[in-house]
Every structure is written in C-alpha cells, then in structure tokens.
Amino acid sequence: MSAETLIHRTVLLAEAVDALSVKPDGIYVDCTFGRGGHSRRILQQLGPQGRLIAFDKDPAAIANAQTIDDGRFQIVHDGFVCFAQALEALGVAQVDGVLMDLGISSPQIDEAERGFSFRFDAPLDMRMDTTRGLTAAQWLAEADEADIREVIKTYGEERFAKQIAAAIVASRAESPITRTGELARLVAQNVRTREPGQDPATRTFQAIRIYLNRELEELSATLPQIIGRLAQHGRLAVISFHSLEDRIVKHFLRDVSTADTLPSWAPVRAADIPEAPVRLVGKAVRPSAEEVRDNPRARSAIMRVAERTAGVWKGQA
C-alpha cells in the first residue's frame, strides 16, 4: 500500500473548526482524533492557556497523536463513550467546544489488514480498537443466523439480509469465513440488485463494522454526556457519514433544542417557559462540490452544529 493511498483527507476541516468558534483560552475536545486534521487546526487557534483533549480507540491513531509535541494537547486511548468519565479523571468540569467526526478514516479503509474493506482480500477483523473485542470473523463464526440477519438488516439497511445470513451460516458449516474476500463473494452471490456504482458487499460490511464497534449505541450514549459538560455558549459540531448516524444526531439535537411546551390554556407567559438547554446553529452543512471532487469520500458527509444556552440541562452529566 503506497503512502499516497494511506493519506487521510479531513472532511469539512475549516467548516468544523470554524463552527466551534474557538476561544484562545478555551478547553476543547476532539472525540475522534483519527489522523489529527481537526485537532491540529484547533491547536493552531488556541493560545498558550488553551487545552485540547482528544479521544480515539484506534492504536494507530494513538501512535499518530503521540507525535504532537504540545503541552496543551492530551490524547485518551478510549472511545468517546467514556467522555464524562475521562473528563472527570482529568479534572475538567466544563468544556468550550466538542467536535465529533464520525465513521471510519481513510487509513482504516486503505490498510488491508484492518479488514474493513471488501476491496482487498485480508483477515476479517473490522475492530476500531485492535486490542480488544471480537473480530468480524469470530462474530460470524459464533452468531445465530437470526442475529446476523438482524444486524445486516438494521445497521446496513440491506434488503437481502435474510438471504445473506442464511448463506453465511451454510458456508461456515463447511469452513470458517475468515477473510474479507470470502465474505464479499458470498454477499455478492446473494444480492440480486444494487444501486449503480455500489458494490454488493457495501451494506453488509458497513453493518458488521457498526455493530462490532457499537458505533450507534456509543453515539447515543455520548451526546447527553457532551451537553452536560458544555459551558454556556459552548459549541458541539457533529459530522456524520450515513443516515443512521445523522438520524440519531438530528433527533437528539431537535429534542434538546425544543423548549418545554404547555397547553394553550395554561396561565403561563411564553417568556416564563424555561429555555431549552441547546440552540441549533445554522442549517446542516455539506461539503462543497470542490471538496467532493478532490475527496469523493466526503460526498455523504453532513455536519450539524448546536450551542449550549443558559437553559437547565436535566439529562446525564
């Protein structure tokens, strides 16, 4: 694999960091360090008293982060689901901004041995954190057919989940499915139609990856933690890459930005209704045509931004 292939292009780099309205002396969190594009840009905008804390599960990302020789920067080798716990351990009560760049990074896709891509024949791994948890091969060897079907249907939105699951169970009875090429071929044999330009294995690989890494569950569990730690006027910017992620983010932000409603007959003035703890900032942002042309993997990205208000947060801190 060439160095050029493994280059990671940070999506919505300027837009995301600008959305945080970085204060020179503020405390910021990059929930998904990846290869550090957003983190490095935030550090450029911080003053001597500023601070940046980043999270990542991926040992390769941690190794990359350790090349940043900056006393204002700290990396946490864990998923962002431990957001509140980690900040507590670091003695941080509130932060001024949080960035979440969800999904999978280009190096993770392009490094064949990670097993995320059907473009290479490689060990079937798919773990974001290669130091813990079941590999995709181990899960496919152990899971019930009904569970495999449900995962592929729910997380991949795959119409042919039933046929794929049955084929996996039948195939593993003959020999274990241990490589990406085996799984991709098996899926292709059981997907009758597919959107133009999309590989038949796309949805199945996405589904297994999301399930194994608990991506949606951890996102849902982390968003309330972030709101509980944001200082007033602090910003949250979330970049999603598929509809399941964006749906969670969109619905959560809609709910926490909506003030309590009372019946029209209630003797309470609108001004006396408690303020919602969050306000939405602008409309959803998508990459420019120029960025998509230069980096086709940006085409599905969408960013939503919210700001903490003075409203009382009654959820998880």
DSSP assignments along 108-137, one per residue: HHH-GGG---TTS--B----SSTTSS--HH
108 in a labelled binding site:
yes
CA dist., res. 188 & res. 163, Å (int): 11
Q: How far apart are CA 106 and CA 7, in angstroms?
A: 7
58 annotated as a binding-site residue = no
Q: What is the identity of the amino acid at 23?
A: K
- Tallying the residues shown for the chain, one arrives at 317
- Taking phi first (over 0 means left), then psi (-120 to 50 degrees means alpha), and beta for anything else, what does residue 214 get? left
- Asked if residue 38 belongs to a known ligand binding site, the reply is yes
Q: What Cα–Cα distance (Å) separates residue 203 from each residue in 71, 124, 227?
A: 42, 16, 32
Cα angle 96-38-68, degrees, rounded to a multiple of 5: 100
Q: Does 197 appear as a known binding residue?
A: no
Angle of helix 180-188 relative to helix 161-174, nearest 10 degrees, comes to 130
Distance from C-alpha of 313 to C-alpha of 311, rounded to nearest angstrom:
6
Whole-angstrom Cα Rg for the chain: 21
- Residues placed in the known binding site: 36-38, 56, 80, 101, 108
Positions at the binding site for S-adenosyl-L-methionine: 36-38, 56, 80, 101, 108
